[in-house]
């Protein structure tokens, strides 16, 4: 009965009349479009139209709450006899924003956990197809590194590293759908991204929260009629001059002469003629010698273009947002591109007198592109660019009698022209032949929900969502004729895959104020299944014709591979409860608990419980508010989160299997077929369980100087324990995959700081600045019983591993011999500890253990890729219709292992391109202060076969990420032609980078977390110049 | 209104209840894999056995590349100084210290080789474990079980023997070994021999040429007894049995091929000479992994005009080539061959005039080594420095024995890969000539010098067949081939020491580049038949001035007669492994 009355009360109405008015910016007087005018305590209200006007049915004594994103809300009471209210809103405090957190939304001022948000305006400043790239420098506590590949997701790390395995990607929750991949989202559809950093905020996501959670909310319609927006930009990416430290053809020949001199070699060089010892005074260049700048050959000014059309609107009972996007980015490497098409429809319908909401958020994205393979390996086209000798013509211009064939004009040149040209490919040839390769995919991501208000303050919500992705790739490998190592027969691969996941969430939310007491509680149940996948791939070789139209797998003469994959999915069952209590907006207490069960673990250990507690205190209520301090809130939280990403879904099982290449054998001696065999492929462990992370977070939010400056500060300490480690088994166990065991421990601590400053300098000129500052300090506390380190090898290296992850140090530190200098004389060599290959001009290594020889025991830590801090600084000016913003990002104190130097600073590192340092600044008896070792054909322990400190460089950088100048046409001008908004802008991206790093780009995205900060032919971010238009109707 | 509310609440409860508490929702079995129970049948055990055989080449796509090739081009031939790494200085630099006797225990090649041997052993043990289950279940017949068990044990013995001769001190691991406690301090030789002997009662005709049969097992026991125990008499009996009664695993005849060059032809890989050939298969969908992955680097480097296409590794040494010098058809057993070196084109470009050596040479040279001016199978004459990657670094010679003929491109080679060097030319793990020479060695050690001489002469007589000489385009001998048999009674079969020298030379000439030399030197060192350290240093001193960048200041010490136990394995086994030096 009581219940009935409560419901009745809320749905009853007293005498109502029409109230109207306008909502404007308190300073500029410009109308605010889409501001909400709500009758307090109800869902009744209105939205301002293009003139900022609203009308609403209200009764005397009702309180109208007028709010608009980015402005302080205002309340006013309807007074009898007054029907028109003109409201001026003040640009507001950041802390008054509503923030979508785990399963609920809260006002930022009420938060007790560590949460940061970034809105659509900031995100869109970076022209990229991928929202992850746009996070860089925008949010404190988040370290983002990207590269220049079109469409390539950036690497996002929240507060350092959680797992020793490198499975440190955050969980993204897009409109309630958990996923690891948001690369298909159209950035323009995103309303906000909210980063949940500590247990207080994130442990509601339990076993998937340990790496942090990024909640993505897409745009929804407004209830203010129909609004149409069109946004576009178009621009060009400038590859720039490329590496500035490579030799030209004559210099390369001169370097060969220097090597001869240094080594005393007596031979007739197949290209340059007799060496000095054999009587050759100087190298002779052959008539076919070119002077190719491979960077110029293989890069181009590349187009980038984006069009967004969105349509939004609604009325009291329905609202919708529809977006269409076309994005096309060419890579600076020729033929490389990505095109993306996406469509979104978000809608919500309110029925049953506002008691039931039905809605959906759905997006589908199609992508097609031509990728560059091998980034992060030595087959990277970027590496190839710096490996090919300049003497090789990209295109042959005169007949050349080559090693294996006669090259005629118009053909590709290559290493097959002559011996001693090395084994690099011709990038122009490779990219041209790969031009028709395509990667295609379609991905749908969406959710549908029903939200039912049961009683006042209590609502039930059920959400079903998921993703579905299907891809199709084609990959042609042409036969080659120009190289020293040719591919004799063309081959062709096609592969396809589907993967999907789904989530079903049911929650009850209780949100009610009792006087000064506020309670927000949400409890729920969730079932998830992810990693449902199938794939198929086939390759044949031997094609009668290279023609594109002939390329089907069926047309190949010989089957090379016919494979398929069947993914083992993971299911999760979860229960969770969260309660936030606040008193008088002064005292806050929040607790969450989640219990998860996962199919990845054995029956006895598959459930984990992840609780957290956090509290806040608005100190400003006690010390008083002044012009200096308008708000101060202390926050603190403690709790646990889990991580199950690093463990294989098959971890608990001992399995047999094996493919053709690892366990088949031709018992019958046919020579062309093998019989099926099986081998042990996995050793299972049923006791493996979650990784657990225990987080302590202490922070404060403050508003200073009349709220002009807002400060948000957090200190955190994350202890990761029971970390999953695949302890490498000794060889005697065989090569079956070892299980993950819970044995490692790691700690991260650091601070996140964000400052927001806005001021109005004159009536026409306003200024805002945002500064984010992120540090983390990572320490491995335990690896495995009796093992205190593991080495990590990057995807391709000719000198073994150079990363050692060791207890007591940070993840990813570089390990090797410390170069103390170069040996200057034979007597110095003789007097030094025995070092294999030592001779004057070669590296002298530090003798760490003090014995009489340089041995593996003398290796030490030679660099650390973890930055001391990363930061972002955004400066914005508004002057009348003009706006100017500059966004800087940077990283300080991180080292880079510049593996590219291995190729170009050592003569025997294959016969490819070499550096000007090796010619001009390398050791000779006269150049004794050189850093680069003697140019010599000797490859040994003292030259180029070891991981040594020579490769380490300071990777700190400070970059002007974007500079944007915009002009908004005045409302009175555009209003006449029907526009509500019209803005044009010019933008430059990556205009300058201050760094001592000698490579192309210090911002590196490649490599697992256990071996990061290594430059293996990174695809650089380059300058971009854009012009853009924003139109609203 | 009230009813409406109740409906809603019911609906919500129903939604929640619908998928609560489904424990089976969390039971997900792995996709695309098998468990042990499914395999516990005759066919299942056979499939595990097949994977055990598949490690005989030392390579597999689950982590074992050319570093662990059982053809032992690195550990047997390069370390034995028959060849050097070849190519250029910076390519596969981990081989550099192995060829200069300066390797650290951290060298990745050593770790991969170790793991490859034990992966073979682990597969055998898994086959034996599942076999036991199948026997319990009654899903395998007693005869089948017996055959499977003997094959698995012989294979296990083979993999252990391989590890033993490389590392000296190894853990012996069978299907009952506690892997958390095993060490390398126990003598592994006994169980290795016992495993190998398990196969000696296998029939000779196993129905398939790729299985181990009784002959193979007997040979392996003999080889192990010679290598590990210097038990010449036992080995001699077994080898005589192999020669007299042996067959290939498919039951067909064994013997010496009539022509020496024929032995290495891919088409003849399972020919008369092959007691056991590791079966390579091409274009079988493995992407080259079942082909000659282990030897894929070891082809000349003249783009398009030489076989393979990559990578210029494994270049024969000067000393090895010079050993083919003959005088009155016989080799120069006092090593004076280096005083009259075989003429080569070191330092010359292909355009410079060059006439090949005109002195007397053993004809086997030109089946073993590619050199300027001599026909390289059907690929035309070797044209010199354009066939090698960096002549000043690694010398003028190219490998030849495993190379396929031009006419075999595409049929005996993998197509559509980055190189055609993945071939079906299976490694001749046991060839008849090896058995004959091992028998001769046993005879010399037991002082039956004339019997040894006759056996060695069998080998030399075959090599002396003029139909088997390399011919030029006009059909004439490509060089001045002179080879004769050893006369009865006189030098070198006048004393045991001289006979040993002759045997040692004969193995070098007959079996060079086939992965044996270093292990031969190990064995002879133990038998007191040679000072292996001196021998290696002698060659080193000869090669060093010719290839200064390659050898540097290296020298050979007694510890270099084994490879160190991989440091990685010592670390992982937490002190249970002892370093062998």
CB contact under 8 A, A730 and B39: no
Give CA–CA dist B11/B13, Å, rounded.
5
Instruction: Give the pair of three-digit tokens for residue A169.
Output: 């990607």
Nearest CB partner across the interface for B210, out of A405, A569, A665: A665
- CA pair distance A281, A350, nearest whole angstrom: 90
Query: Which tokens belong to A587?
Result: 């005292």
Nearest-CA distance from B132 to chain A in Å? 16
Please work out, in degrees rounded to the nearest 5, the angle formed at the alpha carbon of residue A987 by the alpha carbons of A981 and A991: 165
Chain A closest-CA separation from residue B493 CA (Å): 40
Cβ-based burial of B136 (10 A; exposed 0-12, middle 13-18, buried ≥19): exposed
Complex ipTM above 0.90? yes
* A409 Cβ under 8 Å from any chain B Cβ: no
Give the chain A residue whose CA is nearest to the CA of B570. Answer: A730
User: Closest residue of A to B208, CA-based?
Assistant: A668
Mutate one of B14, B33, B275, B567 to test the A interface: name it (highest A CB count within 10 A): B33
Phi, psi of B327 (to 5 degrees): -135, 120
- How many Å lie between the alpha carbon of B535 and the closest alpha carbon of chain A? 22
Chain B residues within an 8 Å CB radius of A674: 54, 281, 284, 286, 290
Q: How far apart are CA A898 and CA A94, in angstroms?
A: 41
Query: Per-residue pLDDT averaged across A264-273, rounded?
Result: 88
Q: In chain A, which residues have their Cβ closer than 8 Å to the Cβ of B566? A: 731
Instruction: Nearest chain B residue to A683 by CA: give it.
Output: B35
Whether the per-residue pLDDT at A1001 is higher than 60: the answer is yes
Q: pLDDT at position A3, please?
A: 38
- Taking alpha carbons only, the member of B310, B560, B138 closest to residue A483 is B310
Q: What is the pLDDT of residue B14?
A: 58
Q: How far apart are the first and last CA of chain B?
A: 90
Q: Are B294 and B313 in contact (CB under 8 A)?
A: no
Q: What is the pLDDT of residue B11?
A: 59
Tell me whether residues A731 and B115 touch, CB distance under 8 A. yes
**Cis upstream peptide for B311 (omega within 30°):** yes
- For residue A955, the SS3 value is coil
The minimum CA-CA distance between A624 and chain B, rounded to whole Å, is 47
pLDDT tens, A526-539? 999 999 999 999 99
Measured between alpha carbons, how far is B219 from B153 in angstroms, rounded to an integer?
15
- Angle CA A718–A724–A725, to nearest 5: 120
Least confidently predicted of A79-88, A970-979, A995-1004, B3-12: B3-12
Between positions 81 and 140 of B, the ones with CB within 8 A of A are 88-91, 93-94, 96-97, 102, 104-106, 108, 111, 114-115, 117-119, 121-123, 125-126
Cβ <8 Å between A654 and B35: yes
What is the CA angle A670-A673-A675, rounded to 5?
Answer: 105
Distance of CA B51 to the CA centre of its chain: 18
- Are B480 and B272 a contacting pair, CB within 8 Å? no
Alpha helices in A841-963 (DSSP H): 900-904, 916-920
Interface test with A, best of B25, B274, B281, B421 (most A CBs within 10 A): B281
State both tokens at B530: 């040679």
Q: Closest Cα to residue B391, out of B427, B348, B423, B426?
A: B348
How do strand A36-39 and strand A45-47 relate by DSSP bridges?
antiparallel
Query: With 0-12 CB in 10 A as exposed, 13-18 as middle and 19+ as buried, what is A1032?
Result: middle
Residue A2: predicted pLDDT: 38
**Shortest Cα distance, chain A CAs vs residue B95, angstroms:** 10
* Two tokens, residue A975: 């209003």
Residue B3 pLDDT = 54
> B208, A540: Cβ pair inside 8 Å?
no
CA B82 to CA B94: how far, in whole Å? 18
pLDDT in tens, chain B (581 residues): 455 566 656 655 555 555 555 678 888 888 888 888 889 999 999 999 999 999 999 999 999 999 999 999 999 999 999 999 999 888 898 999 999 999 989 899 999 999 999 999 999 999 999 999 999 999 999 999 999 999 999 999 999 999 999 999 999 999 999 999 999 999 999 999 999 999 999 999 999 999 999 999 999 999 999 999 999 999 999 999 999 999 999 999 999 999 999 999 999 999 999 999 999 999 998 989 999 999 999 999 887 778 987 899 999 999 999 999 999 999 999 999 999 999 999 988 888 899 999 999 999 999 999 999 999 999 999 999 989 999 989 999 999 999 999 999 989 999 888 888 999 999 999 999 999 999 999 999 999 999 999 999 999 999 999 999 999 999 999 999 999 999 998 999 999 999 999 999 999 999 999 999 999 999 999 999 999 999 999 999 999 999 988 988 779 999 999 999 999 899 889 889 999 98
Between residues 815 and 874 of chain A, which touch chain B (CB distance below 8 Å)?
A: 836-837, 855-856
State pLDDT tens for residues A573-595: 999 999 999 999 899 999 999 99
Instruction: Give the closest of B4, B115, B567 to A856, CB-based.
Output: B567
Binary contact (A598, B12; C-beta < 8 A): no
**DSSP bridge partners of A608:** A596
A881: closest CA of chain B, how far (Å): 52
Task: Compute how many other C-beta atoms are within 10 angstroms of the C-beta atom of residue A313.
Answer: 19
Instruction: Check CB contact of A280 with chain B, cutoff 8 Å.
Output: no
Of A678, A909, A943, which to mutate for an interface test with B (greatest number of B Cβ within 10 Å)? A678
The answer to whether residue A351 neighbours chain B at the CB level (below 8 Å) is: no
Beta-bridge mates of residue A472: A440, A496
Instruction: Note whether B270 contacts A: Cβ–Cβ < 8 A.
Output: yes
To the nearest 10 degrees (0 to 180), the angle between helices B496-511 and B432-445 is: 170
Residue of B nearest to A452 (CA): B8
Q: What is the DSSP string of B159-223?
A: HHHHHHHHHSS-----TT--TTT--S-S--HHHHHHHHHTTTTS-SB-SSTTS--HHHHHHHHHH
Instruction: Find residues 308-337 of chain B whose CB sits inside 8 Å of chain A.
Output: 309-311
Task: Provide the pLDDT for residue A179.
Answer: 93
Task: Give the minimum alpha-carbon distance from B48 to chain A in angstroms, rounded to a whole number.
Answer: 5
Residues 6+ apart with CB under 8 A from A161: A168, A746, A748, A778, A811, A1009
Instruction: Judge: A674–B571 Cβ closer than 8 Å, yes or no.
Output: no
d(CA B552, CA B316): 18
Query: In whole angstroms, how large is the CA radius of gyration of chain A?
Result: 32
The burial class, CB within 10 Å (0-12 / 13-18 / 19+), for B465 is middle
In chain B, which residue's Cα lies nearest the Cα of A478?
B416
How many other CB atoms are found less than 10 A from the CB of residue A1031? 18
Q: What is the pLDDT averaged over residues A780-802? A: 86
Tokens 């129903």 locate to B14
**C-beta separation of A65 from A52 below 8 A:** no
Chains A–B, number of C-beta pairs less than 8 Å apart: 392
Mark yes or no for CB contact B28/A267 under 8 Å: no
CA distance A570 to chain B (A): 7
Residue A60's pLDDT band, with cuts at 50, 70 and 90, is: confident
Q: Residue A1, class by beta-carbon neighbours within 10 Å (0-12 exposed, 13-18 middle, 19+ buried)?
A: exposed
pLDDT of residue A362 exceeding 80, the answer is: yes
Closest in B8, B20, B28 to A569, CB measured: B28
Of the candidates A664, A728, A731, the beta carbon closest to that of B290 is on: A664
Give the residue from A968, A1027, A904, A963 showing the smallest Cα distance to A243. A904
Contact A4 B352 (CB under 8 A): no
pLDDT of residue B6: 61
On whether any CB of chain B is under 8 Å from the CB of A286, the answer is: no
The C-alpha atoms of residue A186 and residue A344 are separated, in whole angstroms, by: 9
Backbone dihedral angles phi then psi of residue B519, each to the nearest 5 degrees: -70, -30
Nearest CA in chain A to B280: A671
- Inspect the interface and report whether the beta carbons of A403 and B171 lie closer than 8 Å: no
Cβ A571 vs Cβ A529: under 8 Å: yes
Contact criterion met (CB below 8 Å) for A102 and A215: yes
Q: According to the model, what pLDDT value does residue A13 have?
A: 41
- Which residue in A654, A679, A908 is closest to B89 by CB distance? A908
Peptide bond into B21 cis (omega under 30): no
Backbone phi, psi, residue B220, to 5°: -65, -35
* 409-438 of B, contacting A, C-beta below 8 A: 409-410, 412, 415-420, 424
Give the E-state strand segments of A90-152 in sequence order. Answer: 98-100, 105-107, 115-119, 142-145
Q: Given CB atoms, is A535 within the 8 Å cutoff of chain B? A: no
- Please, are residues B61 and B502 in contact by the beta-carbon 8 Å criterion? no
Containing B265, the helix (H) or strand (E) segment is none
- Indicate the SS3 state at residue A388: coil
Say if residue A189 is exposed, middle or buried (CB neighbours under 10 Å; 0-12, 13-18, 19+).
buried
Do A157 and A881 contact (CB within 8 A), yes or no?
A: no
Residue B527 has a CB neighbour count (10 Å cut-off) of 15
The answer on pLDDT for A1 being more than 50 is: no
Tens of pLDDT, residue by residue over A823-858, are 999 999 999 999 989 999 999 999 999 999 999 899
- What DSSP string runs through B552-581? TT----GGGGSPPPPHHHHHHTTT-SPP--
Is the backbone peptide bond immediately before A588 cis, with ω within 30 degrees of 0?
A: no
Among A935, A804, A920, residue whose Cα is nearest residue A862? A804
- Interface check for B211 against chain A (CB to CB < 8 A): the answer is yes
Considering only residues 560 to 619 of chain A, which have any Cβ-Cβ distance to chain B shorter than 8 Å?
560-562, 565-573, 597-599, 603, 606
Cβ neighbours of B1 in A, within 8 Å: 4, 7-8
Contact A486 B304 (CB under 8 A): yes
């Amino acid at each position: 009965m009581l219940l009935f009355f409560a419901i009745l009360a809320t749905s009853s109405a007293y005498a109502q009349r029409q109230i109207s008015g306008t909502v404007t910016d308190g300073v500029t007087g410009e109308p605010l479009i889409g501001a909400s005018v709500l009758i307090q305590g109800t869902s009744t209200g209105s939205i301002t139209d293009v003139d900022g006007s609203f009308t609403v049915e209200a009764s005397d004594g009702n309180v109208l709450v007028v709010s608009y994103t980015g402005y302080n809300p205002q309340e006013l009471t309807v007074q009898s006899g007054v029907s028109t209210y003109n409201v001026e809103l003040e640009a507001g405090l950041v802390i008054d924003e509503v923030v979508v957190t785990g399963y609920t939304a809260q006002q930022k001022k009420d938060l007790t956990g560590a949460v940061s948000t970034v809105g659509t305006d900031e995100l869109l400043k970076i022209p990229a197809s991928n929202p992850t790239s746009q996070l860089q420098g925008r949010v404190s506590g988040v370290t983002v590194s990207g590269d220049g590949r079109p469409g390539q997701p950036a690497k996002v790390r929240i507060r350092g590293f959680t797992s020793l395995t490198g499975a440190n990607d955050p969980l993204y929750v897009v409109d309630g759908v958990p996923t690891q991949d948001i690369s298909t989202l159209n950035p323009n559809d995103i309303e906000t991204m909210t980063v949940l950093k500590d247990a207080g905020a994130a442990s509601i996501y339990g076993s998937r929260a340990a790496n942090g959670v990024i909640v993505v909310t897409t745009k929804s319609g407004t209830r203010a009629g129909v609004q149409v927006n069109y946004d576009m930009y178009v621009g060009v990416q400038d590859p720039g001059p490329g590496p500035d430290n490579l030799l030209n053809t004559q210099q390369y020949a001169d370097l060969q002469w220097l090597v001869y001199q240094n080594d005393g070699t007596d031979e007739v060089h197949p290209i340059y003629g007799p060496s000095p010892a054999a009587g050759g005074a100087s190298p002779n260049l052959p008539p076919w010698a070119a002077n190719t700048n491979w960077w110029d050959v293989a890069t181009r000014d590349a187009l980038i273009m984006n069009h967004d059309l969105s349509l939004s609107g609604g009325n009291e009972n329905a609202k919708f947002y529809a977006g269409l996007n076309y994005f096309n980015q060419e890579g600076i490497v020729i033929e490389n591109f990505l095109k993306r098409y996406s469509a979104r429809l978000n809608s919500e319908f309110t029925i049953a007198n506002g008691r039931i909401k039905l809605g959906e958020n759905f997006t589908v994205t199609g992508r097609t592109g031509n990728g560059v393979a091998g980034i992060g390996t030595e087959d990277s086209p970027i590496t190839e660019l710096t490996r090919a000798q300049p003497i090789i013509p990209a295109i042959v211009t005169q007949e050349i009698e080559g090693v294996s064939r006669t090259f005629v004009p118009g053909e590709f040149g290559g290493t097959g022209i002559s011996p001693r040209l090395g084994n690099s490919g011709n990038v122009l040839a490779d990219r041209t032949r790969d031009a028709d390769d395509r990667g295609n995919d379609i991905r749908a991501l969406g959710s549908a929900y029903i939200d039912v208000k049961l009683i006042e303050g209590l609502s039930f919500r059920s959400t079903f969502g998921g993703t579905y992705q299907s891809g199709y790739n084609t990959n042609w490998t042409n036969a080659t004729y120009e190289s020293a190592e040719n591919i004799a027969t063309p081959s062709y691969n096609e592969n396809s895959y589907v993967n999907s996941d789904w989530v079903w969430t049911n929650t009850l939310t209780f949100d009610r104020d009792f006087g000064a007491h506020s309670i927000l509680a949400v409890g729920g149940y969730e079932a998830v299944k992810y990693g449902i996948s199938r794939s198929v791939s086939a390759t044949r070789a031997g094609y009668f014709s290279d023609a594109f139209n002939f390329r089907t797998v069926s047309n190949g003469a010989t089957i090379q591979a016919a494979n398929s994959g069947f993914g083992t999915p993971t299911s999760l069952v979860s229960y969770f409860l969260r309660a936030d209590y606040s008193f008088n907006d002064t005292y806050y207490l929040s607790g969450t608990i989640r219990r998860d069960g996962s199919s990845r673990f054995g029956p006895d250990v598959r459930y984990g419980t992840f609780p957290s507690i956090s509290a806040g205190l608005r100190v400003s209520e006690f010390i008083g508010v002044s012009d200096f301090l308008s708000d101060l809130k202390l926050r603190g939280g403690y709790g646990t989160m889990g991580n199950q990403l690093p463990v294989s879904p098959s971890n608990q099982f001992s399995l047999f299997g094996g493919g053709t290449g690892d366990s088949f054998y031709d018992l019958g001696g046919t020579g062309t077929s093998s019989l099926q065999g099986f081998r042990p492929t996995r050793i299972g462990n049923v006791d493996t369980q979650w990784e657990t992370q225990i987080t302590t977070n202490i922070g404060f939010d403050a508003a200073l100087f009349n709220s002009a400056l807002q400060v948000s500060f957090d200190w955190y300490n994350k202890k990761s324990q029971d970390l999953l480690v695949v302890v490498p088994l000794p060889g005697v166990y065989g090569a079956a995959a070892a299980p993950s065991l819970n044995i490692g421990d790691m700690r991260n601590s650091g601070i996140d700081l964000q400052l927001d400053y806005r001021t109005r300098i004159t009536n026409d000129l306003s200024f805002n600045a945002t500064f984010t500052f992120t540090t983390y300090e990572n320490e491995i506390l335990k690896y495995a019983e009796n093992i205190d380190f593991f080495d990590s090898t990057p995807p391709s290296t000719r000198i073994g591993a150079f990363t050692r992850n060791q207890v007591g140090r940070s993840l990813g530190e570089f390990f090797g011999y410390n170069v103390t200098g170069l040996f200057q004389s034979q007597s110095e060599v003789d007097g030094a500890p025995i070092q294999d290959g030592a001779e004057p001009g070669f590296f002298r290594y530090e003798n760490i253990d003090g014995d009489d020889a340089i041995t593996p025991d003398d290796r030490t830590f030679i660099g650390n890729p973890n930055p001391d801090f990363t930061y972002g600084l955004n400066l914005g000016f508004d002057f009348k219709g003009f706006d100017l913003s500059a966004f800087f990002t940077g990283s300080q104190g991180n080292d880079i292992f510049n593996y590219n130097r291995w190729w170009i600073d050592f003569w025997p590192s294959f016969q490819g391109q070499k550096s000007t340092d090796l010619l001009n600044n390398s050791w000779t008896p006269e150049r004794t202060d050189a850093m680069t070792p003697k140019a010599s054909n000797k490859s040994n322990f003292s030259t180029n076969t070891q991981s040594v400190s020579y490769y380490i460089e300071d990777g700190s950088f400070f970059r002007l990420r974007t500079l944007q100048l915009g002009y908004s046409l005045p409302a009175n001008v555009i209003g006449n032609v029907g526009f509500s908004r019209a803005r044009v802008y010019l933008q430059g991206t990556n205009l300058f980078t201050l760094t001592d790093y000698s490579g192309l780009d210090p911002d590196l995205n490649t490599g697992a977390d256990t071996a990061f900060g290594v430059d293996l032919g990174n695809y650089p971010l380059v300058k971009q110049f854009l012009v853009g238009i924003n139109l609203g109707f | 209104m009230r009813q409406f509310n109740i409906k809603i609440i019911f609906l919500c409860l129903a939604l929640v209840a619908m998928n609560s508490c489904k424990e089976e929702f969390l039971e997900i079995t792995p996709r695309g894999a098998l468990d042990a129970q499914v395999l516990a049948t005759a066919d299942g055990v056979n499939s595990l056995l097949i994977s055990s055989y598949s490690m005989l080449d030392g390579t597999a796509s689950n982590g074992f590349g050319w570093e662990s090739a059982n053809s032992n081009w690195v550990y047997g031939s390069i370390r034995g100084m028959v060849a050097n790494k070849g190519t250029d200085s910076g390519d596969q630099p981990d081989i550099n210290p192995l060829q200069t006797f300066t390797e650290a225990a951290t060298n990745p090649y050593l770790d991969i080789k170790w793991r490859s041997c034990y992966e073979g052993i682990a597969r055998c043990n898994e086959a034996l474990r599942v076999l036991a289950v199948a026997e319990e279940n009654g899903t395998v017949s007693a005869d089948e079980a017996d055959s499977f068990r003997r094959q698995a044990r012989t294979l296990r013995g083979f993999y252990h023997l391989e590890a033993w001769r490389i590392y000296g001190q190894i853990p012996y691991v069978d299907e009952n070994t506690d892997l958390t406690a095993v060490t390398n301090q126990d003598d592994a030789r006994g169980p290795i021999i016992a495993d190998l002997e398990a196969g000696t009662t296998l029939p000779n005709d196993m129905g398939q040429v790729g299985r181990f049969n009784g002959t193979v097992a007997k040979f392996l026991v003999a080889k192990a007894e010679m290598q590990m125990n210097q038990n010449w008499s036992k080995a001699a009996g077994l080898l005589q049995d192999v020669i007299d009664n042996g067959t290939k695993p498919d039951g067909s005849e064994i013997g010496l091929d009539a022509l020496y060059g024929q032995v290495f032809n891919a088409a003849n890989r399972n020919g008369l000479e092959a007691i056991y050939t590791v079966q390579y298969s091409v274009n079988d969908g493995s992407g080259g992994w079942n082909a000659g992955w282990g030897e894929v680097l070891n082809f000349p480097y003249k783009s398009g005009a030489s076989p393979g296409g990559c990578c210029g590794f494994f270049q024969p040494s000067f000393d090895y080539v010079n050993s083919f010098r003959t005088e009155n058809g016989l080799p120069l057993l006092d090593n004076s061959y280096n005083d009259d070196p075989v003429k080569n084109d070191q330092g010359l470009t292909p355009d410079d005039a060059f006439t090949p050596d005109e002195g007397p040479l053993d004809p086997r040279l030109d089946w073993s080594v590619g050199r300027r001016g001599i026909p390289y199978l059907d690929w035309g004459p070797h044209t010199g420095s354009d066939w090698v990657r960096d002549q000043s670094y690694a010398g003028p010679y190219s490998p030849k024995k495993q190379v396929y003929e031009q006419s075999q491109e595409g049929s005996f080679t993998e197509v559509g890969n980055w190189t055609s060097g993945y071939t079906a030319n299976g490694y001749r793990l046991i060839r008849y000539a090896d058995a004959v020479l091992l028998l001769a060695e046993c005879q010399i050690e037991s002082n039956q010098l004339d019997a040894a001489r006759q056996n060695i002469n069998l080998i030399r007589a075959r090599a002396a067949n003029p139909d088997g000489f390399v011919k030029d385009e006009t059909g004439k001998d490509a060089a001045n081939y002179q080879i004769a048999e050893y006369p009865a009674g006189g030098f070198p079969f006048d004393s045991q020491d001289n006979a040993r020298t002759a045997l040692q030379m004969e193995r070098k000439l007959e079996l060079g580049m086939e992965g044996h030399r270093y292990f031969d030197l190990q064995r002879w060192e133990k038998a007191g038949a040679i000072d292996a350290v001196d021998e290696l240093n002698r060659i080193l001193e000869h090669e060093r001035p010719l290839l200064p960048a390659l050898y540097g200041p290296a020298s050979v010490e007694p510890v270099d007669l084994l490879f160190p136990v991989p440091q990685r394995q010592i670390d992982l086994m937490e002190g249970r492994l002892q370093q062998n030096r």
